[in-house]
Structure 1
Amino acid sequence: MTNAVDIRKVTKVFGTFTALHGVSLSIRDNEFFTLLGPSGCGKTTLLRLMAGFEEVSGGEILLFGQNIASLEPNLRPVNTVFQQYALFPHMSVIDNVAFGLKMKGWTLPKRRARAGEMLEMVHLSDFADRLPTQLSGGQQQRVALARALAPQPKVLLLDEPLSALDLKLRQAMRMELKQLQQGTGITFIFVTHDQEEALTMSNRIAVMSAGRVQQIGTPREIYETPVNRFVADFIGETNLLEVEVAAIAGDQAEVILPGGQRVTCSSATTEKGRHHLSVRPERVTLGTVGSGMQAVVEQVVYLGTDLQVLVRLDGGTAMQVRIQNAARTEVPSPGTRVGLTLEEGAARLLAD
């Protein structure tokens, strides 16, 4: 499969601060690829290097096999959608969409036709003559998308474009963005700190921390088989249990849980000793005293679709259990002693 972007050992230094430490990754053509991580992890810096807004300190960035390091931003076949939409307030919606085409020398009839097509694609044809200030935040975001897509870039860079929207609109726009990417066939590279956004939209995700890529994989791979504590803890909710490794064979391990029970799990490490086990709250089952790990229920929190049950193991470790309300399982009240068992294949031994 053709790669749209190849990042090869890219380093970025600002004065005495190193923002990126030899980052390498490949992004396929026609892929929705997400750079995910907390603030300050280097994801936006990497995006700005691709766009040409910053210069690399070391390494290479290739676009469809061509080294673009020496190309000015306006000469790169990429466009960027920013967190702040940067629409021209004095221009109509259709003129905003057509602006980039005018800069590229398109004739008036051609750019008006293309801008009209883009507005139809983002369902804003009826708003063509309005000013940006007459639109909602979600509509402005769609105008910014239409403007960025109008010149048919090979790659579209999106720097947290949904963060200014309210929750309901953000959820709706996730689906629209995914449909746009699939409909246009353009490679989307999306930057976010929101794990749910990354999981719902992406073909693949690169999880970043402190200027380094921690793991690259599909949403399912990232969620179900994290490689280390950072990825496991950053993606969704997880229980991290310190366990003793009894045996390791290939990518499987036998570990001793708190309380002495032995379970087999997938493993990201090949070393024995004490490591952390990741167990998602929805993969833990509440049972009777005497089965599994022994604990006391401390709190039950109603979350609408789920109940979050907070328990404390006899050894002092806190754990979370998620129970779907649709299951109508009887939940013990705080102070009740319970036993916790793990679903088969639920646990993942991490490389710390």
Structure 2
Amino acid sequence: MNVSVDIRQVVKRYGTVTALHGVSMAIGENEFFTLLGPSGCGKTTLLRCIAGFEDVSGGEIRLHGQNIAALEPNHRPVNTVFQQYALFPHMTVRDNVAFGLKMKGMGLAERNARAGKMLEMVHLSAFADRLPAQLSGGQQQRVALARALAPEPKVLLLDEPLSALDLKLRQAMRVELKQLQETTGITFIFVTHDQEEALTMSDRIAVMSQGHVQQIGTARDIYEAPVNRFVADFIGETNLLPVTVESVAQGVAAVTLPGGHRITCAAAGMAPGPHHVSIRPERLSIVPTGGDLDVVVERVVYLGSDLQLLTRLDSGAALHLRMQNSARGQVPAPGTRIGLQLEEGAARLLAD
């Protein structure tokens, strides 16, 4: 992988508070890379350090091998799209997009041609002479993207740019944003707390918590193979159960669940003793009798295309599963005792 942004042991302190604890990651050229985590995890602080809006307290940020940590924001070949688009209300859409080019000294004809090309890319050519107030939220967001892309930065930083949009528009813009990144070939670093956004668009994701990187990987890696309880619980929906690892042999653990149920799961690097296991709800299925687990159905929740069954083990531990709504004729009623079968590899043993 050719590295675009190389973050090496970056520390950021605000007085006695440490917001970033030696964060390191390598972001590839032409990659859509997402910083994901809850509020206060340090993701926006890291983005602002890359942009130059915050000084680092320690470590290095390198762009194509050059340490940029000491460069002023306007001397870094990066641009930022903020949550609030910060368009100039008195300027037309074309002039908003061309503003950064004007600041760089580009001539009128050339910057208008570049602005026109950017507006065509975001499907807003017909709106070039309008003011921002005459545009919808989604259109304003695309103007902000076009303005940030016009100077052809090496890296585009996006700080939760979709959060102000309604759900349907946000979903549509995810697709457009990913297509735009693929078309331009620019490295995108995207900040969000929305797991679905991250899973939908990203080539890779860095999950952050309390100023630490918990895991870096593809969407499939993060969802299917979380490395610890935080990642498993934060990404999507899961069942987290306390278990006891009885024995480990050739990378496979014999595990006892609450209530005495025994299953096996992969256990690379795990030792016998207390741990937690993650089981995704969609990887459980109902079987007529027996199965890996016996549970009692407490509630059935209608979710449109899916149904959610809230069940409980005899030990009292809750266990949720999902099934397609098309299978509603097979749905057991509350109070029914059923058996559950785990898909192969469904139980993921976690480090705490």
Match of 2:144 in 1: 144
Are 1:10 and 1:59, in contact at CA under 8 Å, matched by a contact in 2? Answer: yes
Q: CA deviation at 1:268?
A: 5.6
For the residues of structure 1 that align with 2:15 and 2:195, how far apart are their CA atoms? 31
For the residues of structure 2 that align with 1:56 and 1:296, how far apart are their CA atoms? 53
Amino acid at match of 1:162: L
Are 1:259 and 1:293, in contact at CA under 8 Å, matched by a contact in 2? Answer: no
Q: CA deviation at 1:8?
A: 0.5
Deviations 1:32-90 (A, max 9, x none): 00000000000000000000000000000000100001111001000000000000000
For the residues of structure 2 that align with 1:81 and 1:251, how far apart are their CA atoms? 45
Are 1:98 and 1:150, in contact at CA under 8 Å, matched by a contact in 2? Answer: yes
Q: Is 1:7 aligned to 2:7, yes or no?
A: yes
Match of 1:308 in 2: 308
Q: CA deviation at 1:255?
A: 1.4
Q: CA deviation at 1:20?
A: 0.4
SS at match of 1:164: coil
For the residues of structure 1 that align with 2:168 and 2:339, how far apart are their CA atoms? 38
For the residues of structure 2 that align with 1:251 and 1:165, how far apart are their CA atoms? 46
Match of 1:275 in 2: 275
Match of 1:28 in 2: 28
TM-score (norm: length of structure 1)? 0.98
Amino acid at match of 1:205: I
Are 1:268 and 1:348, in contact at CA under 8 Å, matched by a contact in 2? Answer: no
For the residues of structure 1 that align with 2:80 and 2:316, how far apart are their CA atoms? 49
Match of 2:181 in 1: 181
Change (3 A) 1:58 1:196: same
| Residue range with higher mean Cα deviation, 200-209 or 338-347 | 338-347
Are 1:4 and 1:187, in contact at CA under 8 Å, matched by a contact in 2? Answer: yes
Cα RMSD for the two superposed structures: 1.2
Match of 2:68 in 1: 68
Match of 2:296 in 1: 296
Q: How does 1:33-44 map to 2 (within 5 A)?
A: 33-44=33-44
Match of 1:198 in 2: 198
For the residues of structure 2 that align with 1:250 and 1:350, how far apart are their CA atoms? 17
Match of 2:343 in 1: 343
Match of 1:105 in 2: 105
Deviations 1:297-323 (A, max 9, x none): 111000011000000110000111100
SS at match of 1:326: helix
Match of 2:217 in 1: 217
- Number of equivalences: 352
| Residue range with higher mean Cα deviation, 288-297 or 218-227 | 288-297
Change (3 A) 1:107 1:268: farther
Q: CA deviation at 1:249?
A: 4.0
Which 5+ residue runs of structure 2 have no aligned equivalent?
none
SS at match of 1:39: coil
Are 1:269 and 1:349, in contact at CA under 8 Å, matched by a contact in 2? Answer: no
Are 1:323 and 1:329, in contact at CA under 8 Å, matched by a contact in 2? Answer: no
Are 1:80 and 1:156, in contact at CA under 8 Å, matched by a contact in 2? Answer: yes
For the residues of structure 1 that align with 2:124 and 2:268, how far apart are their CA atoms? 48
Q: CA deviation at 1:269?
A: 4.4
Amino acid at match of 1:211: G
Change (3 A) 1:97 1:307: same
For the residues of structure 1 that align with 2:268 and 2:134, how far apart are their CA atoms? 52
SS at match of 1:96: helix
